[in-house]
Amino acid sequence: MRSNAGFFGVGCDDVNAAYARVDDVHDWFASAATCEIPAALVDVPVFGGPQPPAFRHALGNAYPNPMNPTTRIQFTNGVANGRVKVEIFDVTGRLVRNLVDAKLPAGVHEVTWDGASEGGSTVPSGMYFYRMTADDFVSAKKLVVSK
């Protein structure tokens, strides 16, 4: 494994260090070196504590696709407590099933579709679309039901 470690000094007029190289490993080793570095402590205000990671709205792939009998759809909500909808449509654009319609925390989420319509009946084999809507974000992808 190659190391990119290095040695540097800041504000030192004279730094004495001995370096050695190990040929097969390509790592460098240095003996201890000392010097005085003036330092000052500065208070840095932190507002609100640690910040959560930033997310962006995204619609992931359905897996498995083609599906039989179920599929999982992963999606990301980019806004804390933002309203998200994930719906299934047939090729004519008719709503088959509403999977998610809720305010969700920001982050990655997953929903499972069991291949049933809103009324509970199993949908026939064919092509469908799943769509995510959140704020001004809209994304749709193809999904194949195979029996």
**Within 13 Å of residue 69, how many CA atoms lie on the same side as its CB?**
6
Q: Is residue 51 part of a domain?
A: no
What's residue 2's pLDDT?
45
pLDDT in tens, 16-54: 554 444 444 444 444 455 555 555 555 555 566 666 667
Same domain, 105 and 135: yes
- In this predicted model, which residue has the larger pLDDT, 122 or 6? 122
Q: Is residue 49 part of a domain?
A: no
Q: Is residue 47 part of a domain?
A: no
CATH of the domain at 80: 2.60.40.4070
Q: Which range (20-34, 64-78, 81-95) has the least confidence?
A: 20-34
Could you give the number of structural domains in the chain? 2
- Range of 82's domain? 58-145
Q: And the tokens for 12?
A: 């030192």
Residue (of 123, 107, 139) closest to 71 by Cα position: 123
Same domain, 126 and 69: yes
